Amino acid sequence: MKDISKATIDRLPLYLRALRMSQDEGLDVISSEELGRRLEITPEQIRKDLASFGQFGKKGVGYYVNELKHSISNILGLDNHWNIAIIGIGHLGSALANYHNFISLGFNLVALFDHDSSIVGKTVNHVKVTDIDVLEQTIKDLNIHIGIITVPGQFAQEVANRLVKSKIKGIWNFAPIRMKVPDDMHIVNEDLSIGLSCLSYHITRKPR
């Protein structure tokens, strides 16, 4: 497959969400113009993005909502039903564990890990918190594909190293550090402090 730009890939979930909302509204067909209006993206950009993955829709008609929704889900790999685990069940980890859209997106939350004895053994969203001492074996036993790191920064690299050693497929990192992982390890960093700082920058300079 030819290289696809990150910007194009980042827009696919937006298209998928808009299609799901359109389906909930009872729409069977949607044009690139209408999809673009809902997302504030030009119809030309939408058509160009989708053309990177094949031919979709019918000229003069538009896109069949259900068909395109399934196609984009397939492109994103959401039909693989990835098993995920959260490491660090503090406030952020608990909030993510209670995120109900994981299931609708095709992700299965199968494990939670922590080292705090006051947290281990508790249940969050029907999943029992397991001691991080058995992280590697649990990943193997439950066939976990994605690890979500929400531990404090000073412990995050060690957790990442253990996930890599366990041959996990991907890491979603919420710790405020840049991880050192092998080049073939897929990792997405979500630094909340950077996001808030950038927001502060923009609103500080907004004309009064």
> What domains appear along the chain, each with residue ranges and CATH number?
6-77 (1.10.10.10), 81-195 (3.40.50.720)
Q: Give the helix, strand, coil percentages of the chain, each rounded to 5.
A: 50, 20, 35
How high is the pLDDT of residue 134? Answer: 97
pLDDT score recorded for residue 141: 97
What's the one-letter identity of residue 27?
A: L
Q: What is the value of pTM for the model shown? A: 0.85
Kindly tell me if the per-residue pLDDT of 33 is higher than 60: yes
pLDDT for 2 equals 60
Query: Measured between alpha carbons, how far is 104 from 13 in angstroms, rounded to an integer?
Result: 13
Name the CA dihedral angle for 160, 164, 166, 170, rounded to a multiple of 10 degrees.
90
Residue type, 66: N
When pLDDT is averaged across residues 135-159 and rounded to a whole number, the result is 96
pLDDT per position as a tens digit, 56-68: 988 888 999 999 9
pLDDT band at 208 (very low <50, low <70, confident <90, very high): low
Give the pLDDT confidence score for residue 206 in this predicted structure.
72
Phi-psi region of 177 (alpha: psi -120 to 50; beta: other; left: phi over 0): beta
Tell me the pLDDT tens digit for each residue of 111-124.
Answer: 999 999 999 999 99
Checking if the pLDDT of 183 tops 70, the result is yes
The CA distance from 109 to 60, in Å, is 42
Angle, CA of 77, 81 and 84, to the nearest 5°? 105
Q: Which two tokens stand for residue 135?
A: 């992280």
Is 81 labeled as ligand-binding?
A: no
pLDDT digits (tens, 9 = 90+) for 60-94: 889 999 999 999 999 999 888 899 999 999 999 99
**Cβ atoms of residues 188 and 169 within 8 Å:** no
Q: How far is CA 112 from CA 17, 103, 206, in A?
A: 27, 16, 42
Q: How many CB atoms lie within 10 A of CB 110?
A: 17
Of 172, 199, 182, 22, give the one whose Cα is nearest residue 96: 172
Q: Is 121 annotated as a binding residue?
A: no
The pLDDT assigned to 60 comes to 83
Is 93 labelled a binding residue? Answer: yes
- DSSP H/E element including 30: strand 29-30
Report whether 19 belongs to an annotated binding site.
no
